[in-house]
Amino acid sequence: MKRRTFEVTTSTGLAKALMSELHESAEDVGRRVTAGAVYVDGKRARDGAANVKAGSRVSVVLEASGEATNVERAAPSFTLSVLFEDAAVRVVNKPAGIPAQPTPDGEVSLLDLATRHLGREAGLVHRLDRETSGVTVFGKTKASTSALAKAFREGRAKKEYVAIVSSGLPEQGVIDTPLQKDPSRPGRWRAIRTGNGIEAVTKYRRDVVSGSACLVRLFPETGRTHQLRAHLASIGFPILGDDFYGGASGPRCLLHARRLEIDGVTWEAPMPDDFPLKPTG
């Protein structure tokens, strides 16, 4: 069993996006959609004609035979750490090691937990990588989910991450290198200026240095897949524990979504215990 996940770069129809990514015919793509094997932003999509906005994340569950498979996900073994909740949103502190959205092997995801906690489907509007911890916001109604998604699309969601890298990082800087899929390693992205890359901008500021390690604060101005990991690796400072991008050995990829601000409202997740350095402010 396998899964293909990709980010839509230009607003288009779901079937067209799938045909382009999977290199399949309209008939084959239609069968996948009808079988319930396609998810858009964590929600199953059954309308191939539906418009998919730029920035949406599409997942297709596959088998070796190419047919879709539906798997009953396991019950969660822990409860959500809720940072804030009102009638419109639920903000949680995602633990490291759990996927943000459903996977084909039935593993429980953060979306599963949020949905079970809410009692109906939660609105997933942004995602953190499996090993990344920190602030994640869910919409509790269709209206609030749409408003949150719009805020992310329009760049009104201001994010701060922290990561551990090796010492020697400049005091501050901007990485504005476009990102492309790495043809030499499926699933990985590379920062490169040649070709038709996707615009990606990351500001950073060195915070704490201790011995051979450095804590850096990251302020992404775009929200691309693996953006922070690929950008730091491109300047010679891969994140500690991120072996996918050449990082030194660590307990995990030490990347934490510390703060999220939308329209003047800020939520903050406490620093995880496995970080050897803590931010100064």
How much of the chain, in percent, has pLDDT values that exceed 90? 61
DSSP letter (8 states) at residue 15: H
User: pLDDT category, 242, cuts 50, 70, 90?
Assistant: very high
What is the edge-to-edge ordering of all strands in the sheet holding 2-7?
Answer: 2-7, 57-62, 38-40, 43-44
Query: What pLDDT sits at residue 43?
Result: 75
What tokens were used for 209? 């240095």
Q: What is the CA angle 162-257-147, rounded to 5?
A: 140
pTM here?
A: 0.75
Q: Is the dihedral of CA 197, 200, 201, 206 positive or negative?
A: negative
158-187: per-residue pLDDT in tens? Answer: 999 999 999 999 999 999 999 999 988 888
- The CA–CA distances, whole Å, from 263 to 98, 126, 199, 267 equal 28, 16, 24, 11
What tokens were used for 101? 């959205």
52-95: per-residue pLDDT in tens? Answer: 988 888 888 764 333 333 333 444 455 689 999 999 999 999 99
Query: What pLDDT sits at residue 281?
Result: 81
Query: What pLDDT sits at residue 104?
Result: 62
- Check if the beta carbon of residue 112 is closer than 8 Å to that of residue 119: no
- Please report the beta strands in the chain, taking only residues with DSSP state E, as ranges in sequence order: 2-7, 12-13, 38-40, 43-44, 51-52, 57-62, 82-85, 89-94, 123-124, 133-139, 157-166, 172-175, 179-181, 189-191, 202-210, 213-220, 255-262, 265-268
User: pLDDT category, 1, cuts 50, 70, 90?
Assistant: very low
Could you give the CA distance from residue 97 to residue 120 in angstroms, rounded to a whole number? 24
User: pLDDT category, 265, cuts 50, 70, 90?
Assistant: very high
User: Which residues are the active-site residues?
Assistant: 129
Going along the chain from its start, the domains and CATH numbers come out as 2-62 (3.10.290.10), 82-153 (3.30.2350.10), 157-268 (3.30.2350.10)
